[in-house]
Amino acid sequence: MRVGVDVGGTFTDLVALASDGAIEVRKVVSTPEDPALGLFQAVEKLGKGERGKGNDKAIEVLVHGTTVATNALLERRGANVVLVTTAGFEDLLWLRRQDRADLYDLARDHPPPPLSRERVVGVAERMGPDGPVVPLTDAEVARVVHAVRALAPPPEAVAVALLFAFRHPLHEQRLVAALRAGAPRSPKRICAPWWGRMWRGPAKRHDAAA
């Protein structure tokens, strides 16, 4: 049997495809305090159906998706995050991409970024495509850790997103190690293996908030 589960904010829906082509569906109330609980309740409910006995109920494949993270992003919930990024690129979330709506309308209102500008800490370092351009000094690492610790309210999570870290992660790794040792909570570091600081920065921030 192949089973797919969608964990939503209100309901958790399950669809099962048996080996003979029969389809069964189950719906249970989601459990926001522990989304996995609703998933297992739906699977348990599947086992209590008319076809709940025999080898046909053996689950060969179980896949699931969820809108929990999407809902949290849209509703602006999640952890209180600090973004640590290469100096000079602190405003990228506010500048947005070139394909934003009404590119030439200077008066257009845009949704604000998911964190305030005061929650972005710039780092005096620079990696280029071929390696270090501006070295990351021990003094700068200490300054960044102090700057993060000094923020009020204290951050619940830290996202570290430096330029070209997907190719040369050394600076990010040093900062993450220092922040884990000296910051209130362990920072998130996702070295997303794709080109483009504009994409990796928000991805790291959103993951840290989750």
Residue owning tokens 């179980």: 62
Give pLDDT, residue 51: 53
Give pLDDT, residue 60: 93
Give pLDDT, residue 141: 97
List the one residue out of 121, 114, 91 whose CA is nearest residue 197.
Answer: 91
> pLDDT digits over 17-47, tens only?
998 899 999 999 999 889 999 999 999 999 8
Low-confidence spans in the chain with pLDDT less than 50: 54-55, 189-193
Buried b vs exposed e over 49-86: b needs ≥16 C-beta within 10 Å? eeeeeeeeeeeeeeeeebeeeeebbeeeebbebbbbbb
Give pLDDT, residue 61: 95
Q: Where are the domains of the chain?
A: 2-73, 81-97+111-209
CA 204 – CA 191 distance, rounded (Å): 9
Give pLDDT, residue 109: 79
Give pLDDT, residue 55: 46
How many Cβ atoms are within 10 Å of 202's Cβ, its own excluded?
Answer: 18
Give pLDDT, residue 191: 45
CA 41 – CA 11 distance, rounded (Å): 11
Residue owning tokens 């991409």: 97
The CATH superfamily holding the domain 2-73 is 2-keto-3-deoxy-galactonokinase, substrate binding domain (3.30.420.300)
How many Cβ atoms are within 10 Å of 129's Cβ, its own excluded?
Answer: 10
Q: Render 77-97 in DSSP notation, one character per residue.
A: -S--EEEEEETT-TTHHHH--
